[in-house]
Structure 1
Amino acid sequence: MRRFVLAHTTEVALIVVMLVLSAGLSLATDRFLTLSNAFDVLNVSAVNIIFAVGLLVVLISGGIDISFAVAASVVQYLAVLALGVVGGGNWALGFLIAGAIGLGLGFVNAFLVYRLSIISIVATISTFNIFFGLLMFFTKGVSIYNLPDWLTTRVVFYEREMADGSWVELTLPVVVMLICCGATWFLISRTTTGRKLYAFGDNPEGARRFGINIGAMHYISFGWLGLMAGIAGLMQAHYAEEVVPNALYGRELDVLAATVLGGARLGGGKGSVIGCVLGVLMVSITQNGLNLMGVSPFAFKMIVGAIILVAITLSSARLDKLLPAFARARPRTGGPR
């Protein structure tokens, strides 16, 4: 147990902070600690978690991307237009089109970073503005409300009415999110490619000398984020039942903060899917609790920012300093988790 805790310091610290936060919010409002509210938080968080696991792969490889939310907006619009051309399509075709467009946009970032040797944050700031500018120019900010019937029909895998009249629902975005999390975990933890991504992010020059294909690492990491952005964009359109060009604008910084909060290192070489999910959930739980308490939305960013700062400080501290009794059991770990 001690070895497990010390090997997963960030995740354990986040769980502790979330439990304390949830206990406080449950005292402030009796609606917070209910099963229906927990499922609501999960359903609302699904799109951001899909974004986050894609971003995690880029961060592990030592890069950074802030264009993914805008890319998802582009995917939404183009995918819906393409589906209209082919007569509406279905879920299989929708995922195929959205994933392909997202993958292509991710490859654009990889090309700029690898072939043109542009620093990833500079490259993605550029594509952020280019993608969003082109989207708003050609759409003139007009939303699409006439979506295929299958895209706007709610898909519920599990539902149950509670004693208080509320409903517990497990919707399609959550199931897709779980699949994306599982696929990302498998990629970074159970494949040779994943180990190469960690090695490249931790020591790019060492990875280059070891013979790792640097170009492949860039295209895989940014391409994976593009794929996740495409899927997230389709799920957002399904959830909102409309396509609004600027609906996802601004989410990139929230997702980036939550992913780093979950233990991903901006310098590369570190991060886990479970930590990433916990980071997003903690931000969502905070926003949900504040909303139920009637706190002004204008205060959300300030309070959530303070909580993220405290949580990152706690999770970055060495646990053997906080709990000296664990120090003797601290294992030596390395590589991907």
Structure 2
Amino acid sequence: MRKVVQSHATEFALLAVIAVISLFLSIATDRFFSLGNAFDLLNTSSVNIIFAVGLLVVLIAGGIDISFAVAASVVQYVAAILLGWMSGGGWISGLLIAGTLGILLGAVNAFLIHRFRIISIVATIATFNIYFGLLMFFTRGVSIYNLPDWLTSRVVLFEHEMADGSWIEITLPVLVMLICVVATWVFITRTTTGRQLYAFGDNPEGARRFGINIGAMQFIAFGWLGMMAGIGGLVQAHYAQEVVPNALYGRELDVLAAVVLGGARLGGGKGSVLGCVLGVLLISITQNGLNLAGVSPYAFKMIVGAIILVAITLSNTSIEKLLPFMRQEEGRQ
């Protein structure tokens, strides 16, 4: 039991924090602790979770990417234009187009990092500005409202009428999110490539000497994030029923904070899908509760900043060292 707790210490800690915050928010506002609000949280968090599991792979490989949200915006716009030329298409063609475009944009980051030996955060700061600048230049900030019917039609997977006459529902973004989460979990935990990404992130030089292809690891990691960003962008367009060039601008910091808070180490070689999802949910729950309590959204930005600081601190400090009962258990052995 102790080994299980130690190996999943971050996840247990996040669950405890989520429980405490949820209890406090349920007392502070009567609308928070309701099934309808829980379903709304799940629907609205889907895109961030899709982004987060993609970013997790990059962080495991020892990199960092802050351009994925803008890349998703680029994919949204280009995919909408291509689908218009195709006279609509469908979900399969839409996801294939979005995923492929995202992989290409991710490959640009990987190429710059591997070919020119640029630090990943510097390379992605550059592509962040390039992508966003090109997007705003060519679109002039004009949104696209004329989207295919299949993209704007709400797909309800589950719905239930409450006693007060309101309806609660689970929509398509949740299903896409679950598929992305499971695919990422299988990829990083059940494949040789996933294990190599952990090894590469933990010790790049050792991985190279062991025969792991460094360039391939970088292209795979950033390509996976690019694919998730493209899919997330298309799902966001479905949820919003429009394509707004700057709609996802600024989302990258929230997602980065959530993933690192979920246990991913900025130095690479560590992170789990469950911790990543819990990190996103913690931030979403906090934001949702503050909104219901009437707290200014600017205050939430300060809280996200504090969460980033805490996340970075935890990423450099073993969580076990912060839990006294674990130290006591180790001392008894």
Shift of 1:311: 6.8
How far 1:3 moved relative to its partner? 2.0
How much has 1:198 moved relative to structure 2?
A: 0.3
Q: Is the 2:65–2:120 contact (alpha carbons within 8 Å) kept by the matching residues of 1?
A: yes
211 and 89 in structure 1: CA distance in 2 versus 1, 3 angstrom threshold: same
| 2:19 alignment counterpart | 19
TM-score of the superposed pair, with normalisation by structure 2: 0.95
Distance 1:210 1:288 in 2: 47
Q: What is the CA-CA distance between 1:167 and the residue it aligns to?
A: 2.1
Match of 1:190 in 2: 190
CA 1:105–1:157 in 2, change beyond 3 Å: closer, same or farther? Answer: same
Q: Which amino acid aligns with 2:66?
A: I
1:204 aligns with 2:204: yes
For 1:207-218, list aligned pairs within 5 A.
207-218=207-218
Give yes or no for contact 1:17–1:311 (8 Å, CA) kept in 2.
no
C-alpha separation in 1, matches of 2:322 and 2:238: 47
Aligned position for 1:94:
94
**Alignment partners' CA distance in 1, 2:34 and 2:313:** 29
**What residue identity is the alignment partner of 1:132?**
F
8 Å contact from structure 2 (residues 261, 314) kept in 1: no
- Determine if contact 1:259/1:279 at 8 Å carries over to the other structure: yes
| Alpha-carbon displacement from aligned partner over 1:264-322 (angstroms, at most 9, x marks no partner) | 00100000000000000000000000000111112111134335655776785644663
Unmatched segments (≥5 aa) in structure 2: none
Give unpaired runs (5+ residues) of structure 1.
Answer: 331-337
CA contact (8 A) 2:262 2:279 kept: yes
Partner SS state of residue 88, structure 1: coil
Residues 59, 318 of structure 1: alpha-carbon distance in 2 compared, 3 angstrom cutoff? closer
Is the 8 Å Cα contact of residues 320 and 327 (structure 1) preserved in structure 2? no
CA contact (8 A) 1:286 1:304 kept: no
Write the distance in 2 (CA, Å) between the matches of 1:134 and 1:32.
41
Deviations 1:91-145 (A, max 9, x none): 1110111111001001111100111211111111110001000000000000000
* Alpha-carbon contact 1:287-1:304 (below 8 Å) kept: no
Counterpart mapping for 1:22-33 below 5 A: 22-33=22-33
- 1: CA distance between counterparts of 2:309 and 2:153? 39
Question: Quick one: percent identity of the two aligned structures?
Answer: 75
TM superposition shift of 1:6: 1.3
CA distance in structure 2 between the partners assigned to 1:223 and 1:317 by the alignment: 29
State the 1:253 CA deviation: 0.8
What's 1:281 paired with? 281
2:329 aligned residue: 328
TM-score (norm 1): 0.94
Task: For 1:73-222, list aligned pairs within 5 A.
Answer: 73-222=73-222
Residue by residue over 1:146-194, the C-alpha shift from the partner in whole angstroms, topping out at 9 and shown as x without a partner, is 0000000001100101113332211111110010000000010000001
Q: How many residues align?
A: 330
Q: 1:244-263 alignment to 2 at 5 Å? A: 244-263=244-263
Amino acid at match of 1:211: G
Q: Which residue of 2 aligns with 1:334?
A: none
Partner AA of 1:287 in structure 2: Q
Q: Which runs of 4+ in 1 moved over 6 A?
A: none
Instruction: Find the aligned partners of 2:309 and 2:66 in 1 and give their Cα distance.
Output: 20
SS of 2:266's partner is coil
Pair 1:214–1:33, CA change in 2 (3 A): same
Q: Is 1:296 equivalent to 2:296 in the alignment?
A: yes
SS across alignment from 1:169: strand
| Stretch deviating more after TM superposition (134-143 or 305-314) | 305-314
1:51 lines up with 2:55 in the alignment: no
Greater Cα shift, 159-168 or 303-312: 303-312
Pick which of 180-189 and 164-173 moved more. Answer: 164-173
Match of 1:333 in 2: none
1:217 & 1:210 partners in 2: Cα distance?
13
In 1, are the aligned partners of 2:107 and 2:219 still within 8 Å (CA)? yes
Q: Which residue of 2 aligns with 1:70?
A: 70
1:229 aligns with 2:229: yes
Deviates more, 1:159-168 or 1:48-57: 159-168
Q: Structure 1: how far apart are the matches of 2:124 and 2:249?
A: 14
- Separation in 2 of the partners of 1:68 and 1:279? 18
**What is the one-letter code of the residue matched to 1:324?**
F
Please state whether the residue corresponding to 1:71 is helix, strand or coil. Answer: helix
Deviation sequence 1:49-74 (CA, Å, 0-9, x none): 00000000000000110000000000
